């Protein structure tokens, strides 16, 4: 189980988030500033109306009761009821405005976050735990949401209520007002200390929750659940999860008790202050220097002082802890994305499919070159990685329509080359060109629209077959779907399903066999109709019969298309127009199968080994032609 990394807390512990985060939030709230004005008007009206009942209660005691004036009593009672009704209405208005503002800002923030994260380079996702990321984008956003929708109204309303109440009390009896204010420092002094402690508790709670959510995300997907079951680790996983859940439980109890103890203390201070006002006010009333009704009014108003003070104290803690959420959200939102479209980037239209690798050198980002350090996995703290390039000085031209096979030992750089074409990574030196354009000068959308990719383990979303296929072409007709599936030799399989093309594939497509998923992926690629096709072990999960059918379909589909193919099947390699032989990131041989076999060297050695493996039927054990997973 991953532990909380010390540097996570260190990175946030000393951050000056109060002013920076508040200013940033205010910029996000710019479209809602008109609503803020309406909110403030509603709060001020609510605070003013709240003063009416205490004042009228005092008048009832001092005038209506002594004079036995039932009419005046009725008028005062009606005014009190009317004020209560109007106060309730204005409270609803105030809450509506605060919800509109808070939810609107969070909506904008959530959309901006999703858009930004999905545009981060693939290297970010390979080194970030999904559970940790979703926790950051979900729980932290919810924490920020609470601050804007609830705490905002509490803070503003408490401040306005406090000011108006003090003004009314001074007008009525300044001596008792001073007495009531004496205890105010005891509400204010703990602010900074209590806020800092609660911030620390909140950070720890967020970190522990992130660990727990990451564990659930990894273990509850189909692959993780299958791995746990096959290795019989259910008890071990439960024990590890128990530790993580216990940490979340303990931090939650600590936070709850700390907050409740603090609120009890504030309530006790308020009770003491009220008792002092009644005690001294009673002496004044006995001496005749204050009317009993005024004393009753002061007693009611003093509660309107301590209640806002208690609310402000608690709200300040809520704001500080919520700013931690905002700070963590902004850390993601402000993360740089190295892969950006250049200003004035070209749109690739009518692509022909010519590929050039112009002295390309590439090195994967080191663990020290992090995008969001607090989201990186623990191994990212290691900095003794091999800094040698994965691809070294690759210089190749592939003409439109050529089928090119990439062969070489595992780790030779085959998959890395295919990742550079759609610009999943930027080259370290040199240039990858499509139709003469450096891919860095093209818009990523138009570049990737011209490229179709089928990988060894294709991903299918947890939705219907039709929706998965239309991911390549949202406006595709049913006839187009059927034509693509027929070409990929999967239509008959789909037709036999009870739901047909509306059948839900299951998470990651686990309701289908490996070969069926592969053919669905090929159908999706065919539906896209790209100029360049990348096949990374695209037929590896097919049996001989299905492979022959799919190879025939691909043979027709690849006509007039450029194809980069990583495969260990002899038929794929020998039929290629050109074969690129890679070893440790360098191009060591290139040519046709016949020429390379005659030349001897690495290709001939790998080919004969592969041929022996195919003969014995254990190619997966002895052939070095399996694709590397990390370049």
How far is Cα 169 from Cα 176, in angstroms, rounded to an integer?
8
Q: Residue 281: which residues within 8 A CB-CB, separation 6 or more?
A: 173, 176, 290, 295, 298, 299
- Mean pLDDT, the chain, integer: 78
Average pLDDT over residues 388-405: 91
Residues in the chain: 631
Average pLDDT over residues 195-202: 69
279-301: pLDDT as tens digits:
888 888 887 788 888 888 887 88
The rounded percent of the chain whose pLDDT value lies above 90 is 16
For every residue of 122-166, DSSP letters joined together read HHHHHTB-HHHHHHHHHHHHHHHHHIIIIIHHHHHHHHHHHHHHH
Average pLDDT over residues 229-252: 78
588-609: pLDDT as tens digits:
999 999 999 888 888 888 888 8
Average pLDDT over residues 382-392: 67
What pLDDT, on a 0 to 100 scale, did the predictor assign at position 488?
83
What pLDDT, on a 0 to 100 scale, did the predictor assign at position 377?
53
How far is Cα 547 from Cα 553, in angstroms, rounded to an integer?
10
Q: Are 306 and 274 in contact (CB under 8 A)?
A: yes
What pLDDT, on a 0 to 100 scale, did the predictor assign at position 186?
66
How far is Cα 21 from Cα 49, in angstroms, rounded to an integer?
34
pLDDT at 421 over 90: yes
- Look at residue 460 and give its three-state secondary structure: coil
Question: Which comes out higher in pLDDT, residue 191 or 284?
Answer: 284
What pLDDT, on a 0 to 100 scale, did the predictor assign at position 13?
39
Average pLDDT over residues 113-141: 78
Question: Which comes out higher in pLDDT, residue 492 or 459?
Answer: 492
- Give the relative orientation of helices 130-146 and 70-118 as an angle to the nearest 10 degrees: 160
Question: Which comes out higher in pLDDT, residue 89 or 218?
Answer: 89
Which domains occur in the chain, in start order? 18-333 (1.20.1560.10)
Average pLDDT over residues 118-132: 77
Closest Cα to residue 148, out of 317, 41, 40, 29?
29
What pLDDT, on a 0 to 100 scale, did the predictor assign at position 579?
93
What pLDDT, on a 0 to 100 scale, did the predictor assign at position 628?
34
Question: Which comes out higher in pLDDT, residue 574 or 194?
Answer: 574
What pLDDT, on a 0 to 100 scale, did the predictor assign at position 536?
83
Q: Which range has the worst mean pLDDT, 41-45, 290-294, 304-308?
A: 304-308
Q: Is 500 left (phi over 0), alpha (psi -120 to 50) or beta?
A: left
Question: For residue 9, what pLDDT band results from cuts at 50, 70 and 90?
Answer: very low
How far is Cα 355 from Cα 109, in angstroms, rounded to an integer?
40
Pairing of strands 403-407, 578-583: parallel
Provide the 10 A C-beta neighbour count for residue 80. Answer: 17
Q: Which range has the worst mean pLDDT, 9-23, 230-244, 319-333, 407-421?
A: 9-23
The rounded percent of the chain whose pLDDT value lies above 70 is 78
What pLDDT, on a 0 to 100 scale, did the predictor assign at position 18?
54
């Amino acid at each position: 189980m991953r532990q909380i990394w010390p540097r996570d807390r260190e990175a946030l512990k000393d951050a000056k988030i109060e002013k920076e985060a508040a200013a940033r939030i205010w910029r996000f709230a710019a479209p809602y500033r008109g609503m803020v004005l309406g909110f403030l008007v509603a709060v001020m009206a609510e605070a003013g109306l709240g003063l009416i009942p205490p004042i009228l209660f005092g008048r009832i005691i001092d005038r209506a009761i002594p004079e036995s004036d039932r009419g005046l009593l009725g008028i005062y009672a009606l005014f009190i009821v009317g004020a209560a009704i109007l106060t309730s209405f204005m409270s609803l208005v105030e809450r509506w405005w605060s919800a509109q503002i808070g939810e609107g800002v969070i909506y904008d923030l959530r959309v901006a976050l999703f858009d930004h994260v999905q545009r981060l380079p693939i290297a970010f996702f390979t080194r970030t735990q999904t559970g940790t990321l979703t926790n950051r984008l979900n729980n932290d956003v919810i924490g920020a949401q609470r601050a804007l929708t609830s705490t905002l109204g509490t803070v503003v309303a408490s401040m306005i209520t406090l000011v108006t109440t003090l003004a009314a009390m001074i007008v009525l009896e300044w001596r008792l007002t001073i007495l009531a204010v004496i205890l105010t420092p005891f509400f204010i002094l703990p602010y900074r200390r209590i806020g800092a402690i609660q911030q620390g508790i909140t950070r720890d709670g967020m970190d522990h929750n992130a660990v727990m959510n990451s564990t659930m995300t990894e273990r509850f997907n189909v692959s993780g659940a299958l791995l746990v079951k096959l290795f019989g680790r259910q008890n071990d996983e439960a024990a590890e999860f128990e530790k993580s859940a216990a940490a979340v439980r303990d931090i939650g109890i600590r936070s709850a008790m700390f907050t409740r103890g603090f609120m009890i203390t504030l309530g006790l201070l308020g009770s003491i202050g009220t008792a002092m006002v009644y005690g001294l006010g009673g002496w004044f009333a006995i001496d005749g220097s204050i009317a009993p009704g005024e004393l009753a009014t002061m007693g009611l108003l003093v509660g309107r002082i301590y209640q806002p003070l208690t609310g402000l104290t608690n709200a300040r803690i809520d704001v500080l802890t919520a700013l931690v959420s905002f700070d963590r959200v902004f850390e993601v939102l402000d993360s740089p994305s190295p892969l950006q479209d250049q200003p004035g980037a070209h749109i690739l239209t009518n692509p022909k499919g010519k590929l050039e690798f112009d002295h390309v050198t590439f090195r994967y980002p080191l663990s020290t070159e992090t995008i969001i350090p607090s989201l990186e996995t623990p191994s990212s703290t290691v900095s003794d990685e091999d800094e040698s390039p994965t691809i070294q000085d690759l210089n190749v031209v592939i003409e439109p329509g050529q089928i090119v096979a990439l062969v070489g030992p595992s780790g030779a750089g085959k998959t890395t080359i295919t990742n550079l074409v759609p610009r999943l990574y930027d080259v370290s030196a040199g240039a990858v060109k499509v139709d003469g354009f450096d891919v860095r000068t093209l818009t990523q959308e138009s570049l990737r629209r011209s490229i179709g990719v089928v990988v060894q383990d294709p991903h299918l979303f947890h939705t219907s077959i039709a929706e998965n296929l239309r991911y390549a072409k949202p406006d595709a007709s049913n006839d187009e779907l059927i034509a693509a599936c027929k070409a990929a030799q999967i239509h008959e399989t789909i037709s036999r399903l009870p739901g047909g093309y509306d059948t839900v594939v299951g998470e990651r497509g686990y309701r289908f066999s490996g070969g069926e998923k592969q053919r669905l992926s090929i159908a999706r690629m065919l539906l896209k109709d790209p100029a360049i096709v990348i096949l990374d072990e695209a037929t590896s999960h097919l049996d001989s019969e299905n492979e022959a059918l799919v190879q025939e379909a691909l043979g027709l589909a690849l006509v007039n298309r450029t194809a980069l193919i990583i495969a260990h099947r002899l038929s794929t390699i020998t039929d290629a127009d050109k074969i690129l032989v890679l070893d440790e990131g360098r191009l060591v041989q290139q040519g046709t199968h016949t020429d390379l076999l005659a030349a001897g060297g690495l290709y001939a050695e790998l080919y004969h080994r592969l041929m022996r493996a195919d003969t014995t039927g254990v190619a997966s054990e002895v052939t070095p032609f399996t694709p590397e997973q990390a370049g």
